[in-house]
Amino acid sequence: MQGTMAIGRFRKFLGVTASVVALIVVTGAVGLTAESRRLAEWDKVVEAAKKEGKVVIAIPPSNELRRDLEPLLKQKFGIDAELVAAPGPKNASRIAAERKAGVSYFDAIICGTGTAKGLTHDGMLEPMESFWILPEVKDPKLWYGGHIWEDNISTHKFLYSFFADVSTQNAWYNTTAAKAEDFRGFDDYLHPKWKGKIGFADPRVPGSGQGIWSFMWEIKGEEFLRKLAQQELFLTRDPRQLADALAKAKVAVAFGLGRVPVSPFVDAGLPLKPVPAPKEGLPASNGFGVLGVIKNPPHPNATKVFVNWFLSKEGQDWYGRTLENGTRRLDVDTRWLKDLGINAAKDAIAVQEYHRVRNHLEDKYTKVRLPAGKFAETILQ
């Protein structure tokens, strides 16, 4: 009797084991099938992209970015890249004007916060996720803070925010005209000796100048900015002109300058250094870290290839090193930025703290940047 029961239990065990093995085999097969489908889809899109021949992208005003990205995409995917390098507002205005005239020329835009806001609300952008193919792009667990959208008030997801830095280099000084200890806090810029010696990227338009101006507006108030405006600021909407003025010591210090316009002068050995963070701190920024796809892009498959590569580990590492900013991708090393005085948010602060100190994304743009920009219009000539 006991022998019969033992044989029954053994047969039952064999049956359960066989079922488990079968389930594992089936699950693995399903996984392999899904992966095979993704690879087949990707290969199909790459081949279609080669037939389209090129992709047209509005990019930040970086000669290095334009010089290196074109051959890279050609070598990797056989796609020609037409890159239009200009300040974000200029590129966005051109895209909007062309779209309203019925012209479809651009496929995608890389810009800073607030730049493409008008494109979003005027229906000129495609939902970003519809262009994602690669699992490493889709998976929110691979991104610091998950998927973060520039247009975070909207119910749609058009503009992807992929950079997040803290203590961003936004102010630079000429060491022949000033010293680091001259600027311990924002009030130091009100000293009479800096009258006519402060440059500022025009805060009346979207850009890094508006970013630091709005931070001052939020933490120091409008009375401080009135006094700062009385310092006879050197205002320009051309970052290269501002960097040139600083390099020639026409101004001693300049706000709203990222590394892109300053790098050529630094590489040439000119005495430009980032201003140490003031005691009031600095906001978290996404720099030129926003990606959007233009509505009905002329080269849809080439656009898909670019978007997926750009947001992949390889693409984010390349772009982050080129512009010297920190991607939100968790599988990309950004610790090297510390040697440049920059911290990727993922290396420095918790996600909750990042959302507290950031001054980008649409909610902050609406509540802080817009009113600060409007105030700038009333006091700056």
pLDDT in tens, 5-30: 555 554 554 555 555 555 555 556 65
Q: Give the residue among 260, 244, 264, 266 at the shortest CA–CA distance from 321.
A: 260
Residues 101 and 177 in one domain: no
Residues 245 and 300 in one domain: no
Residues 258 and 333 in one domain: no
pLDDT in tens, 231-283: 999 999 999 999 999 999 999 999 998 877 898 999 999 999 999 889 988 88
Cα separation, 222 vs 216, whole angstroms: 8
Residues 127 and 204 in one domain: no
Residues 112 and 254 in one domain: no
Residues 294 and 322 in one domain: yes
Q: Look at the chain and report how many structural domains it folds into.
A: 3
State the average pLDDT over residues 372-381: 94
* 241 found inside a domain: yes
Residues 125 and 190 in one domain: no
371: which 2 tokens?
A: 């009113």
Residues 58 and 47 in one domain: no
Buried b (16+ CB within 10 A) or exposed e, 37-66: eeeeeeeebbeebeebebbbbbbbbbeebb
Full domain range(s) for residue 251 = 169-282+374-379
pLDDT in tens, 96-138: 999 999 999 999 999 988 888 788 888 999 999 999 999 999 9
Does this model's pTM top 0.85? My answer is no
Cα separation, 173 vs 303, whole angstroms: 39
Res 17: pLDDT: 56
Task: State the CATH number of the domain containing residue 192.
Answer: 3.40.190.10
Res 184: pLDDT: 94
Residues 223 and 297 in one domain: no
Percent share of the chain, pLDDT over 90 = 70
* 368 found inside a domain: no
Contact 196, 157 (CB under 8 A): no
* 362 found inside a domain: no
What is the C-alpha R_g of the chain? 25
State the average pLDDT over residues 357-364: 88
* 351 found inside a domain: no
Residues 84 and 153 in one domain: yes
Res 116: pLDDT: 83
Cα separation, 207 vs 58, whole angstroms: 15
* 255 found inside a domain: yes
* 353 found inside a domain: no
Residues 100 and 242 in one domain: no
* 357 found inside a domain: no
* 36 found inside a domain: yes
- In a 13 Å sphere around the CA of 370, the CA atoms on its Cβ side amount to 11
Contact 197, 253 (CB under 8 A): yes
Residues 111 and 156 in one domain: yes
